């Protein structure tokens, strides 16, 4: 800084030379408009407006001027600093506006985007296969019938030719509804819907009844205490065992695919005569593993029971057995699912893990 000098002419102080000041202003304005980011602008502002900038240094020289020169020099430097300050402030406002605009675009939240962080659920494969089975029979012209899960003992057993002392009553491990003697059970099969349907409707009858059933069976690879069956019942004039076989063959080909190997094995059910178990070739070992856990080494898995409706059952339901005959079958839905999809263990079906269900797709 120069010292006090009475004859001082501001024009002679280099820093206060009008041309030098104009140049400092021009260079500051150019720098301000050339800045492309706020950080760059901040650095340039320090260089052109800070304590060590040409205009700040010029400002300091004013103090040393004689009073007569101070006003003019002060006005010139003050205006120059004002223009520079305005230019930087205006450019800052522009850059801030650009930044805000950019942030709005870059950080826009699309609230319509599906949030896949939360896994979606899946319908249980038992529901899906039940609907498939229903579709197959409805396409053949059959109707869907329903009955309650808490059932009258009479319909679950007696009307099906299983009297109170009938040994076959022990074949199904029944869960009775309290109190003792209530006359109610958790239905052990869907067969009571046969009787309900025959009491409700006149032949010809072609119905399918899917539903939940209960037995005190322990949970293992092929058994569960709560499972599902679908019951088929046909009552019409002239119905024979051939109609039963034909209907089952058509159904099995549709659900499991052509070429599925099945067999009807003579058996006994009090409500059908003659009766047959429906077996399918083991879907895990195809009969080639004597130690197979799924079929127990027999090569066959029983999926249901069937037969011609016993004339005593027709009579109990008020249908003339001399005019009408019928067939019935009852298949396990869990076993059908295992067969269709090669599920080796019942535990997977009953445990309710969504990762198991999700493999079957999200059919609605
Ligand atoms: C019956 O329940 C008869 N009502 C079927 C019937 C209907 C025969 C109409 C004749 C005429 P069964 O107890 O065998 O039969 O059971 C039928 C099917 O249910 C079995 O073949 C099997 O596929 C399935 N099933 C039986 N117990 C279980 C269980 N604990 N867990 C899973 N599925 C089972």
Domain boundaries, the chain: 10-106, 125-358
Tell me the C-alpha distance between 160 and 193, whole Å.
Answer: 10
CB of 270 closer than 6 A to ligand 1? no
Q: How far is the CA of 346 from the centre of ligand 1 (A)?
A: 15
Mutate to test the pocket of ligand 1, among 174, 269, 296 (most ligand atoms within 8 A of CB): 269
Predicted local distance difference test score (pLDDT) of residue 267: 96
Give the nearest ligand 1 atom to 224 CA: 31
CB of 157 closer than 6 A to ligand 1? no
- pLDDT > 70: percent of the chain: 93
Predicted local distance difference test score (pLDDT) of residue 185: 93
CATH top-level class of 125-358: alpha beta
Name 276's bridge partners: 266, 306
Q: Which residues of the chain have pLDDT under 70?
A: 1-12, 116, 119, 167-172, 362-364
Query: How far is CA 360 from its chain centroid?
Result: 11
Strands (E), 99-256: 143-144, 150-152, 175-176, 184-186, 205-214, 226-236
Q: How far is the CA of 328 from the centre of ligand 1 (A)?
A: 12
If we measure between CA atoms, which residue out of 280, 340, 308, 361 comes closest to residue 133?
340
CB under 8 Å to 237, separation ≥6 — which residues?
203, 204, 323, 324, 325
SS3 228: strand
SS3 7: coil
Q: Is residue 91 exposed (0-12), middle (13-18) or buried (19+ Cβ within 10 Å)?
A: buried
Using CA positions, which residue lies closest to atom 27 of ligand 1?
223
Tell me the C-alpha distance between 211 and 234, whole Å.
Answer: 18
Q: How far is the CA of 123 from the centre of ligand 1 (A)?
A: 24
Q: How far is the CA of 330 from the centre of ligand 1 (A)?
A: 6
Q: How far is the CA of 64 from the centre of ligand 1 (A)?
A: 113
Contact between residue 72 and residue 33 where contact means Cβ atoms under 8 Å apart: no
CA atoms within 13 A on the CB side of 70: 11
CB under 8 Å to 364, separation ≥6 — which residues?
123
If we measure between CA atoms, which residue out of 296, 298, 303 comes closest to residue 287?
298
SS3 337: helix
CB of 212 closer than 6 A to ligand 1? no
| Span 38-89, pLDDT tens digits | 999 999 999 999 999 999 988 888 888 888 788 888 899 999 999 999 999 9
Name 309's bridge partners: 272
Q: How far is the CA of 325 from the centre of ligand 1 (A)?
A: 22
Helix (H) or strand (E) holding 156: helix 153-156
CB under 8 Å to 53, separation ≥6 — which residues?
24, 28, 46, 47
DSSP string, 73-142: HHHHHHHHHHHHHHHHHHHHHHHHHHHHHHHHHHT---TTS--TTSPP----HHHHHHHHHHHHHHHTT-
Q: Token pair of 126, please?
A: 């038992």
Using CA positions, which residue lies closest to atom 7 of ligand 1?
330
CB of 310 closer than 6 A to ligand 1? no
Work out the number of other CB atoms within 10 angstroms of the CB of residue 323. Answer: 10
CB of 214 closer than 6 A to ligand 1? no
CB of 306 closer than 6 A to ligand 1? yes
CB of 329 closer than 6 A to ligand 1? yes
Q: How far is the CA of 345 from the centre of ligand 1 (A)?
A: 17
Q: How far is the CA of 141 from the centre of ligand 1 (A)?
A: 24
| Span 277-323, pLDDT tens digits | 999 888 788 899 999 987 889 999 888 999 999 999 999 999 999 99
Q: How far is the CA of 168 from the centre of ligand 1 (A)?
A: 13
């Amino acid at each position: 800084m120069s010292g006090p000098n009475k004859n001082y002419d501001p024009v002679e102080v280099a820093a206060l030379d009008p041309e030098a000041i104009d140049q400092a202003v021009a260079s500051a304005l150019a720098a301000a408009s050339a800045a492309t980011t706020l950080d760059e602008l901040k650095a340039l502002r320090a260089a052109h407006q800070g304590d060590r900038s040409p205009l700040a240094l010029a400002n300091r020289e004013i103090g040393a001027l004689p009073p007569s020169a101070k006003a003019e020099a002060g006005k010139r430097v003050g205006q120059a600093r004002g223009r520079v300050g305005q230019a930087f402030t205006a450019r800052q406002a522009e850059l801030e506006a650009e930044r805000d605009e950019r942030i709005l675009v870059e950080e826009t939240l699309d609230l319509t985007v599906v949030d896949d962080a939360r896994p979606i659920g899946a319908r249980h494969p038992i529901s899906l296969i039940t609907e498939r089975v229903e579709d197959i029979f409805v396409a053949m012209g059959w109707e869907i019938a329903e009955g309650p899960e808490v059932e009258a003992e009479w319909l679950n057993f007696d009307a099906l030719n299983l009297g109170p002392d009938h040994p076959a009553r022990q074949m199904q491990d029944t869960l009775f509804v309290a109190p003792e003697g209530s006359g109610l059970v958790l239905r052990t099969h869907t067969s009571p819907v046969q009787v309900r349907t025959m009491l409700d409707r006149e032949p010809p009858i072609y119905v399918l009844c899917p539903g939940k059933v209960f037995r005190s069976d322990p949970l293992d690879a092929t058994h569960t205490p709560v499972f599902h069956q679908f019951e088929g019942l046909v009552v019409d004039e002239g119905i024979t065992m051939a109609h039963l076989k034909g209907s089952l063959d058509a159904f099995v080909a549709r659900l499991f695919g052509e070429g599925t190997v099945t067999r009807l094995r003579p058996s006994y059910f009090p409500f059908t005569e003659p009766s047959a178990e429906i077996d399918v070739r083991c879907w895990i070992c195809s009969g080639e593993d004597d130690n197979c856990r799924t079929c127990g080494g027999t090569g066959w898995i029983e999926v249901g029971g069937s037969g011609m409706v016993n004339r005593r059952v027709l009579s109990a339901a008020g249908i003339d057995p001399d005019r009408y005959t019928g067939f019935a079958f009852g298949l396990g839905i869990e076993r059908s699912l295992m067969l269709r999809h090669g599920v080796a263990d019942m535990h997977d079906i009953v445990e309710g893990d969504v990762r198991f269900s999700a493999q079957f797709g999200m059919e609605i």
